[in-house]
């Protein structure tokens, strides 16, 4: 072992990545794969710590390789210390050689590859059998490590602060795009590397659009305003939605708000290890259906959150799968009434051994600015 200093957090990270590789090999064994090719750049980061626009990982039972081109090979050697780094612009030509050397026959690849990549693979890896895999790495990514949890908490804290600042910025006359830009800039100003998806700002009747894109429409007195936004902090996403009112809120919109808030709180309250995915959805849907707005809650209750802003798990209404510790998931019921408006409240939840920790903390009570 060399004598250069390595911090405890670096050791923890490295151990974590080695554990991930062990999990990959365990899954390879279950599926009788001799090797697996990883092309999804976020999955490459997850396994190796390497972040770039070009890279391919090959994992065999004996070794792990990271193939990238000359723009990235220095960075790759620095971070992916447990990988053999191969500098090339023809990853699959090199992979063919490595597979031949290890006498590999059945090779998994990720089904998210483009058709062009698939054709290249087929022609350059002609000597082996290729087998498509679905969510091979994403399955592992569902359970977050302590450092991933800490990073996502920072991303959530940035969103919280941006929202609190936004409440002082919004007034009649400001346009939806101005509001979106304010949030985007604020999150970057607070240390985010970017936004995790195009910021949604939907005001007035447009708030009935669950994913209304921000337009040049000015905010009017009496408008309902829904903002759905998030950032990337050190590669990890946050995702939060709040609805508020400007000037005044009609009795019906106030009623809808209270129903959504109650439904959203109910989901948080029941969240704990062992709750079925179906019951996670049901906690909100029961309340919204009983209030007569069942048809107006037209989407799922939430999704996983991590390197991607939307990742597995999702929560099909009939799923018997169960929540486990260290999942990070969203809780986002909504009610949308055409020609009136809509309300959605979304938080990011960490499932803990005891129950749940709400990572997004911006106010959820009805706000009239």
Q: What own/partner pairs with CB < 8 Å and gap ≥ 24 does 140-143 have? A: 140/20, 140/23, 140/24, 140/46, 141/43, 141/46, 141/304, 141/306, 141/307, 141/311, 141/312, 142/304, 142/306, 142/311, 142/312, 142/313, 142/327, 143/324, 143/325, 143/326, 143/327
3-state SS class at 358: strand
Judged by CB under 5 A, the stretch of 2-10, 13-21, 161-169, 330-338 that binds Mn ion is 330-338
Pick the closest to residue 151 from 23, 48, 305 (CA basis): 305
User: Does residue 239 interact with Mn ion by CB under 5 A?
Assistant: yes
Total binding residues for Mn ion by CB under 5 A?
Answer: 2
Tell me if 20 sits within 8 A of 140, measured CB to CB.
Answer: yes
Q: Which is nearer to Mn ion, 182 or 229 (CB)?
A: 229
Pick the closest to residue 236 from 350, 322, 361, 112 (CA basis): 350
Pick the closest to residue 111 from 202, 209, 39 (CA basis): 39
Nearest residue to the partner Mn ion, using Cβ:
239
Alpha carbon 93 to its chain centroid, in Å, reads 33
Minimum distance of Mn ion from residue 151's CB (angstroms): 18
3-state SS class at 260: helix
Minimum distance of Mn ion from residue 211's CB (angstroms): 10
Judged by CB under 5 A, the stretch of 75-83, 153-161, 205-213, 326-334 that binds Mn ion is 326-334
| CB contact set of 326 (below 8 Å; sequence gap of 6+) | 143, 144, 145, 149, 350, 351, 352
> How far apart (Å, rounded) are the C-alpha atoms in residues 367 and 343?
12
Minimum distance of Mn ion from residue 239's CB (angstroms): 4
Minimum distance of Mn ion from residue 73's CB (angstroms): 36
Minimum distance of Mn ion from residue 263's CB (angstroms): 15
Angle between helix 176-189 and 146-169 (nearest 10): 140
Q: Which is nearer to Mn ion, 239 or 279 (CB)?
A: 239
Q: Which is nearer to Mn ion, 34 or 348 (CB)?
A: 348
**Binding mask of the shown chain, residues 184 to 223, with x at each position contacting Mn ion by CB under 5 A:** ----------------------------------------
User: Does residue 330 interact with Mn ion by CB under 5 A?
Assistant: yes
Q: Which is nearer to Mn ion, 159 or 330 (CB)?
A: 330
Judged by CB under 5 A, the stretch of 67-75, 292-300, 327-335, 348-356 that binds Mn ion is 327-335
Q: Which is nearer to Mn ion, 47 or 240 (CB)?
A: 240
> How far apart (Å, rounded) are the C-alpha atoms in residues 167 and 305?
25
Judged by CB under 5 A, the stretch of 111-119, 134-142, 163-171, 231-239 that binds Mn ion is 231-239
User: Does residue 347 interact with Mn ion by CB under 5 A?
Assistant: no
Judged by CB under 5 A, the stretch of 79-87, 153-161, 175-183, 234-242 that binds Mn ion is 234-242
Minimum distance of Mn ion from residue 330's CB (angstroms): 4
Minimum distance of Mn ion from residue 227's CB (angstroms): 12
Judged by CB under 5 A, the stretch of 34-42, 74-82, 201-209, 324-332 that binds Mn ion is 324-332
Angle between helix 146-169 and 8-30 (nearest 10): 110
Minimum distance of Mn ion from residue 27's CB (angstroms): 28
Residues that bind Mn ion (CB under 5 A): 239, 330
């Amino acid at each position: 072992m060399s004598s250069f200093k390595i911090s405890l957090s670096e050791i923890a990270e490295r151990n974590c990545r080695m554990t991930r590789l062990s999990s990959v090999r365990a899954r390879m064994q279950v599926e009788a794969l001799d090797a697996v090719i990883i092309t999804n750049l976020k999955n490459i980061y997850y396994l190796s710590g390497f972040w770039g626009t070009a890279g391919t990982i090959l994992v065999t039972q004996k070794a792990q390789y990271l193939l990238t081109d000359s723009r990235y090979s220095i960075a790759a050697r620095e971070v992916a210390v447990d990988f053999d780094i191969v500098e090339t612009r023809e990853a699959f030509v090199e992979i063919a050689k490595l597979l031949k050397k290890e006498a590999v026959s059945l090779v998994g690849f990720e089904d998210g590859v483009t058709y062009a990549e698939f054709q290249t693979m087929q022609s350059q890896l002609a000597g082996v059998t290729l087998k498509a895999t679905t969510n091979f790495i994403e399955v592992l990514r569902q359970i977050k490590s302590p450092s991933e949890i800490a990073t996502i908490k920072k991303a959530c804290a940035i969103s919280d602060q941006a929202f609190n600042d936004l409440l002082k910025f919004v007034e009649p006359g400001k346009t939806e795009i101005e509001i979106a830009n304010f949030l985007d800039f604020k999150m970057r100003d607070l240390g985010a590397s970017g936004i995790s998806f195009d910021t949604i700002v939907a005001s007035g009747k447009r708030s009935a659009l669950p994913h209304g894109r921000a337009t040049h429409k000015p905010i009017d007195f009496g408008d309902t305003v829904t903002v759905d936004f998030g950032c990337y902090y050190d590669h990890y996403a946050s995702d939060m939605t709040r609805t508020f009112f400007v000037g005044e809120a009609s009795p019906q919109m106030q009623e809808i708000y209270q129903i959504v808030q109650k439904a959203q709180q109910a989901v948080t309250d029941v969240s704990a290890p062992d709750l079925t995915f179906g019951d996670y959805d049901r906690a909100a849907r029961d309340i919204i259906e009983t209030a007569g707005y069942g048809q107006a809650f037209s989407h799922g209750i939430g999704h996983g959150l991590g390197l991607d802003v939307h990742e597995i798990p999702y929560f099909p209404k009939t799923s018997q799968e169960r929540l486990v510790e260290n999942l990070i998931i969203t809780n986002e019921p909504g009610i949308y009434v055409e020609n009136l408006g809509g309300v959605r409240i979304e938080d990011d939840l960490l499932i803990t051994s005891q129950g749940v920790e709400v990572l997004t903390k911006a106010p959820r009570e009805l706000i009239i600015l």
